[in-house]
Amino acid sequence: MSAEPYAYTPLPGSNFVRLLTNIYRRNEDNAICAKLVTVSLYPTPPYIALSYTWGSPYPRSPNESPADVAASSNTSHHISIDDQKLPVTQNLLDYLTLHASSGMAEDDTPDFWIDAICINQKDLTEKSIHVSRMHLIYKQAFAVVVWLGPADEYTADAIELINRIGDASAEILANSASHAPKMIIGKLGPFDRHWKALKLFFLRQWFQRAWVIQEIVLATEVYVIVGNSEVAWEAIVRSADFLSRHETGAAWHAKLLSTLSALSSDTPGLHLGYVLPYLQYFDCENPRDKVYSALGWTMVGKAKQRESFELSANVISADYDSSVVDIYVKTVKHVCEDQNLSLLTSYRHSRSKFINQLPSWVPDLSHRATYMDIDGLSWSHFKATLTDGSTVFTNPNVRLLETLGQKIDTISHVELTIPPNNTNPVTESVKILHLVRALLVLASRIITAERGPGPVLLALWMVLTNGGYGVDKAYQVTPEREAKEIVRQWIERAIATGLVEGNEQDTVARFCLGLINDLQLRAGLHNDVGFSGEEAIKDIASRMAAGETLKDTYEDRGITLLGLRQRFNEQALFCTALGRIGFGFPDISPNDTNWLIPGVSMPLILRETERGHFFSLGRCFIDGVMKGEAFSREHMARIIIE
Given a cut of 70, whether residue 306 has pLDDT beyond it is no
Same domain membership, residue 97 and residue 29 = yes
Given a cut of 60, whether residue 377 has pLDDT beyond it is no
- In-domain check, residue 607: no
- In-domain check, residue 495: yes
Percent over 70 (pLDDT), the chain: 64
Name the pTM for this structure: 0.82
Q: Mean pLDDT highest for which of 1-10, 94-103, 112-121, 548-557? A: 112-121
> What does the buried/exposed string (b/e) look like for 357-373 if buried means 16 or more CB atoms within 10 Å of the residue's CB?
ebbbbbbbbbbebebeb
Per-residue pLDDT, 165 = 83
CA dist., res. 394 & res. 301, Å (int): 14
> What does the buried/exposed string (b/e) look like for 90-109 if buried means 16 or more CB atoms within 10 Å of the residue's CB?
bbbbbbbbebbeeeeeeeeb
Domain that holds residue 462: 427-440+452-565
- In-domain check, residue 598: no
Going by C-alpha positions, the residue among 416, 415, 437, 413 that lies closest to residue 531 is: 437
- In-domain check, residue 620: no
Q: How confident is the model at residue 452 (pLDDT cuts 50, 70, 90)?
A: very low
Same domain membership, residue 178 and residue 304 = no
CB 370 within 8 A of CB 251: no
Is 532 or 121 the better-scoring residue by pLDDT? 121
Same domain membership, residue 467 and residue 345 = no
Given a cut of 80, whether residue 462 has pLDDT beyond it is no
Number of domains forming the structure of the chain: 4
Distances (CA, A) of 311 to 144, 270, 295, 315: 21, 10, 7, 7
CB 343 within 8 A of CB 277: yes
Going by C-alpha positions, the residue among 295, 327, 365, 277 that lies closest to residue 134 is: 295
Domain stop point among 141, 174, 196: 141
User: Torsion over CA of 89, 92, 93 and 97, rounded to 10 degrees?
Assistant: 180
Same domain membership, residue 181 and residue 67 = no
Is 182 or 197 the better-scoring residue by pLDDT? 197
Average pLDDT over every residue of 18-35? 88
Percent over 90 (pLDDT), the chain: 34
Same domain membership, residue 159 and residue 45 = no
Q: How confident is the model at residue 191 (pLDDT cuts 50, 70, 90)?
A: low
Same domain membership, residue 69 and residue 179 = no
- In-domain check, residue 86: yes
User: Torsion over CA of 71, 76, 82 and 83, rounded to 10 degrees?
Assistant: 180
CA dist., res. 469 & res. 461, Å (int): 11
Q: Mean pLDDT highest for which of 250-254, 521-525, 542-546, 552-556? A: 250-254
Q: How confident is the model at residue 240 (pLDDT cuts 50, 70, 90)?
A: confident
Same domain membership, residue 244 and residue 281 = no
Same domain membership, residue 551 and residue 463 = yes
**Tens digit of each residue's pLDDT (9 = 90 or more) over 411-434:** 998 887 765 555 554 454 456 566
Domain stop point among 517, 532, 565: 565
The H-or-E segment that residue 583 falls in is strand 581-584
Per-residue pLDDT, 30 = 83
Same domain membership, residue 285 and residue 246 = no
- In-domain check, residue 402: no
CB 149 within 8 A of CB 94: yes
Residues forming a β-bridge with 406: 596
Bridge-based pairing of strands 593-596 and 229-231 is unpaired
Contacts of 546 (CB under 8 A, 6+ apart): none
Distances (CA, A) of 222 to 21, 208, 232, 268: 20, 18, 8, 19
Distances (CA, A) of 97 to 47, 85, 114, 119: 18, 16, 14, 20
Same domain membership, residue 289 and residue 238 = no
CA dist., res. 313 & res. 293, Å (int): 10
Distance of CA 579 to the CA centre of its chain: 33
CB 318 within 8 A of CB 128: yes
Compute and round to an integer the Cα radius of gyration of the chain. Answer: 28
- In-domain check, residue 576: no
Domain stop point among 509, 533, 565: 565
- In-domain check, residue 557: yes
CA dist., res. 173 & res. 238, Å (int): 9
Query: How many other β-carbons are positioned within 10 Å of the β-carbon of residue 292?
Result: 26
Per-residue pLDDT, 472 = 54
Given a cut of 60, whether residue 254 has pLDDT beyond it is yes
Going by C-alpha positions, the residue among 149, 20, 154 that lies closest to residue 72 is: 149
Same domain membership, residue 132 and residue 160 = no
Same domain membership, residue 495 and residue 373 = no
